[in-house]
A and B are shown apart, each in its own frame.
Chain A
């Protein structure tokens, strides 16, 4: 800043002489207050994360025979006692509807794993068309086994 001593001197004369009295205390008080305000959201977020983690662990560690994810389709008014019977169909109530839903769906019924093909995919997968879902028993009874009525 030694380029123009006259200007430099003028600027230094015009500069505020010092920090106001009690400046250090006011800085420390403001810093403590800001730190307190920052600690509470951080603690709340920590507690929320711990709850999410605990719930996640419970889901992962629950017995294998409990389904994970959305509840399985609930069979209502069955017209056949079991999906093992390839000749019979049974009604099933699905948890949601819509053009994009249920193109494929996995579920369990009477202890058997089932795969359902929705109307949007029936022609491509099975070569047949229709408004209902077609279900397969995965395993020994694999193959078209039943018609599913969407209610």
Chain B
């Protein structure tokens, strides 16, 4: 990806120990990682924690990254593994809601939708959820996503198709609006 190539210099500076470079990288990826974490877990309350854990891992293991131009892909690989690890841990009660910049009216209108979508995503099989999350994220093409998930491209597409089918069924009332 072009953006990845542009980013390679910043990644090299981060590897050399520049915190300013790290801040730039975090700010560039934080939104995408939080959304990806949400889609992989179906839990908006812990999505930021998963994204943070991912970036901390990246910070500590930056020397293991072989191709600076693939930093974004590498982050997503770490995130999926982090989410899998968390899935094996016993679930914790959700903490207090993080600050949301929307107005109270928008929050009220969106709450029902959020809850329904979160529940629908959580109801998916984990492998389907991961495929859907990577497709929604849009950073990787289907070959890269399949590689990250450790399956064939056909299996990735099948999982994605199943995920969409299930979401359409569960979210029908919102899709008809």
Contact = CB atoms under 8 A, between A and B. Distances in A.
Contacts of B164: 3-4, 7
Contact of A19 (B22, B31, B59): B31
Nearest to A19: B30
A80 B51 CA distance: 80
- Chief secondary structure at chain B's binding surface: helix
A11 B136 contact: yes
- Chief secondary structure at chain A's binding surface: helix
Nearest to B157: A3
Interface of B: 19, 22-23, 26-27, 30-31, 33-35, 38-39, 44, 47-48, 51-52, 55-56, 59-60, 98-102, 110, 113-114, 117-118, 135-136, 138, 164, 167-168, 171, 174-175
B171 A1 contact: no
Nearest to B53: A30
A13 B38 CA distance: 13
Interface stretch (A31-39, A67-75, A121-129): A31-39
A30 to B, nearest CB: 5
B51 A19 contact: yes
Contacts of B51: 19, 23
Given A1-B138, A27-B59, A16 B23 contact: no
A34 B38 contact: no
Contacts, number: 92
A24 B26 contact: yes
Contacts of B52: 23, 26-27, 30
Contact of B135 (A1, A13, A20): A1
Nearest to A30: B56
18 contacts: A3-B164, A10-B117, A13-B110, A14-B117, A15-B35, A18-B30, A18-B101, A19-B30, A19-B34, A24-B26, A24-B30, A26-B52, A27-B55, A28-B19, A28-B26, A30-B52, A31-B22, A34-B59
A21 interface: yes
A17 B101 contact: yes
Given A17-B101, A18-B30, A31-B55, 13 more contacts: A3-B164, A4-B164, A7-B164, A15-B35, A15-B39, A16-B47, A17-B100, A18-B34, A21-B99, A23-B30, A27-B59, A28-B19, A28-B26
B101 A15 contact: no
Question: How many A residues are at the interface, by size bracket?
Answer: 20 to 34
Interface of A: 1, 3-4, 6-8, 10-21, 23-24, 26-28, 30-31, 34-35, 38
Given A27-B52, A27-B59, A20 B171 contact: no
Given A11-B167, A31-B59, A17 B26 contact: no
Nearest to B28: A24
A19 B35 CA distance: 8
A10 B136 CA distance: 11
Given A14-B110, A15-B35, A31-B56, A7 B167 contact: yes
Nearest to A38: B60
A30 B174 CA distance: 39
